[in-house]
Homo-oligomer: A and B are copies of this chain.
Amino acid sequence: MAVTFWSTTSCVFKSTITRGLRRYGTPATVKAVLKSDPLEPDEPSVQTEIPGPRSRELLKELDTIQNTKAVHFFVDYERSQGNYLTDVDGNVILDLYTQIASVPIGYNHPRLLDALMKKENRATFVNRPALGVYPPSDLSSRLKNALLSVAPPGLNQVMTMACGACSVEHSQKAMFIAYQRRQRGGKPPSIKELQSCLEGKPPGSPNLSVLSFKNGLHGRTMGALAVTHAKWALKLDFPVPDWPCASFPTLQYPLDQFVRENRAEEDRCLNEVKERIHAWEKRNCPVAGIIVEPIQSEGGDNHATPYFFQCLQDIAKECEIPLMIDEVQTGCGATGKFWAHEHWDLENAPDIVCFSKKMLTGGFYYKDHLRPEQGYRIFNTWLGDPSKLIFLEEVVNLIKEEGLLVQVQDTGSYLINGLYDMQNKYPGLLSRARGIGTFCSIDVKDADTRDKILHKLIQRGINLGPCGSVSIRFRPTLLLSRNHVDIFIDTFDSVIAELQP
């Protein structure tokens, strides 16, 4: 199941790939690698310290308006192209982090600019409708072309939302509605339920929970925070419900060399899941659903094997609760399949799959039984923004036409081989290289050194992000090619050589 039908589209050979073929050879699965944005720069070019003087000036100004401690540097988006950012000081930066994993086909892609300029799209940009009440004439076709054409097989329902957190919140609400509907056995809610819910009291506002995993991140609104456990900065001081939370497997890499150990670790975590579900049932706070990331991203790029997710689905089925996969960061092709969970060979589709980031709009797919019966239950004024569907449709078409999933598979295997090489070369410093597609990461011996490496990389014009306590994560566009990987590996190598005693 879960065959991504366009992934075998053959690619056009381009002349820009010579560099990318020298290091690790051509895998059998791909004939050629293409660089899809002919306008992008050839390589990074750094003129100033980063952040440079102009960035620092702008930072001072912005700091009078809001806390700016997360700002890295200011960007000239007009001059950015493809995989390359240009900052306000004129530095040209190879961007392997892409706005926290949210740029699918690079900066200023001609297809997106064309879509913006089309006369027939103008009304969608300037008139934002209340989608759930006064939808535009083309809503169904946009949902079909942009979202259903890439829906996980088995999921035919979809709602759009403005961001990832709202997608998670409303997915959870769909689970709670379904749970209570089953409890009522088809009867309508009682007057007491209708009244008590307004005060946030049972029975209308029942004591229910969602099971999640340690080190997971699902968003920063209260319902999303209740299933988030990645970092204190996300949660400190906030009155968040104490919902059940199981360990996520801490595996050893490469996965195929630690099959027995990893299986034991996954079984331990699966037992915790079962134990927590029963414990919360006993506490009179039953679990209405399970939420999990395919790869825990912010929490440290923690992988689990298909076995783990298959068993998780079995547990959910046994408990008659939905399994919800949060593909906000993993979705839209980064793992070489459109959805990361397509790697798991699940018996059935997950019950809910939520998305955002590279999908450009938030939202979630869901099975029919999770569709609310009444109107206005999963609802807000905007329900997303149809202008984002215009761009997403272009992205999806480009992925299909240019066989970008195959490119991600190829570039990904080239990148992970490069990372293996590096950790073999610097065994005391680097370890645990891991990844699917270009969704890769590698660990550094300690946080200080990791941060030092990231700092040195950006000074050489390569932008990457941290995750977990000691990891570096790669979140490039779908247009990353071997050429870009070579540039990165060369720079990474020389930066690390500088650190060696």
Contact = CB atoms under 8 A, between A and B. Distances in A.
A403 interface: no
Interface in A42-72: 54, 58, 61-62, 64-72
Nearest to A80: B127
Contact of A241 (B67, B113, B177, B239): B239
A489 interface: no
A242 B200 contact: yes
A28 interface: no
A381 B102 contact: yes
A432 interface: no
Interface in A126-142: 126-130, 132-137, 139-140
A229 B74 contact: no
Interface string A208-250: 1100001000011111101001111111111111110100000
Contacts of A414: none
Contacts of A445: none
Interface in A159-184: 159, 162-166, 169-170, 172-173, 176-177, 179-181
A53 to B, nearest CB: 13
Contacts of A207: 239
A139, A209, A371 interface centre (most CB from chain B within 10 Å): A139
Nearest to A73: B134
Contacts of A66: 157-159, 371
A237 B70 contact: no
Contacts of A494: none
Contacts of A195: 232
A: contact size bracket: 35 or more
Given A67-B375, A200-B240, A238-B173, A116 B122 contact: yes
A135 B163 CA distance: 18
A374 B76 CA distance: 26
A29 to B, nearest CB: 31
B122 A239 contact: no
A323 to B, nearest CB: 19
A200 B241 contact: yes
Interface in A98-151: 99-100, 102-103, 107-109, 112-113, 116, 120, 122-130, 132-137, 139-140, 143-144, 148
A78 interface: yes
A148 B239 contact: no
Contact of A222 (B80, B148, B226): B226
A226 B241 contact: no
A391 B200 contact: no
Contact of A123 (B69, B77, B240): B77
Contacts of A130: 99-100, 102
Contact of A237 (B65, B179, B234, B382): B179
Given A221-B169, A237-B197, A108 B134 contact: no
15 contacts: A62-B143, A67-B378, A77-B123, A78-B120, A78-B122, A108-B127, A173-B220, A173-B238, A197-B238, A198-B230, A208-B237, A219-B380, A222-B223, A234-B376, A239-B285
Given A54-B137, A77-B127, A209-B239, 20 more contacts: A58-B135, A62-B143, A70-B132, A70-B133, A71-B134, A74-B135, A75-B134, A75-B135, A80-B127, A103-B127, A165-B380, A180-B236, A193-B232, A195-B232, A197-B236, A200-B241, A205-B242, A207-B239, A233-B376, A239-B285
